[in-house]
Structure 1
Amino acid sequence: MDTQQNTALTRALAEVPGPLPTSGVIHIVIPHTDRFTVVGNHLAQHPGLSCTAIGIAVRIQSLPQGTEVSIKALAAHCHEGEKRIAAALRELEALGYLQRLRERLPNGRVITRTVFCNQPTALLHPRQTSGPQRPAVTTTPQAPAPPQAQTPAPAPAVRPERPMPPATSDQSEQTDPPAPETPAPVPLPPPSPFATPPAPLFVPLVPPPTAPKPPPRPLPRPTELTPELDRAATALLSDLPRHAPQFTLSEDDLRRLVPGVAAWLERAARPDAIRHALTDDPPHPLKHPAKLLKYRLTELLPPPPPGIHDLAALARPHIRVTPFQTCDDCDRAFRSPTPGHCRDCREHRTHRAHHADQTSHQAHRTEDVRSAA
Structure 2
Amino acid sequence: MDTQQNTALTRALAEVPGPLPTRGVIHITIPHTDRFTVVGNHLAQHPHLSCTAVGLAVLIQSLPRGTEISIKALAARCKEGEKRIAAALRELEAHGYLQRLRHRLSGKKVITRTVFCNQPAALLHPRPRPAAEARPRPAASAPAPAPAPARMPARVHVPAPVPVPTAAPPAPEAPSVPPVLPPPPPLFERRVPPPTAPKAPRRPLPQPRELTPELDRVATAFLSDLHRHAPQFTLSEGDVRRLVPGVAAWLERAARPEAIRRALTDDPPHPLRHPAKLLAHRLTELLPPAPPGVDDLATLAARPRVVVTPFQTCDDCDRAFRSPTPGHCRDCRETRAVYAQAAA
Q: Which bracket does the TM-score occupy, shorter chain normalised?
A: 0.3 to 0.5
Greater C-alpha radius of gyration: 1
Q: Give the structure-1-normalised TM-score.
A: 0.40
Q: Give the structure-2-normalised TM-score.
A: 0.43
The structure showing larger relative contact order (alpha-carbon pairs under 8 Å, at least 6 residues apart) is 1
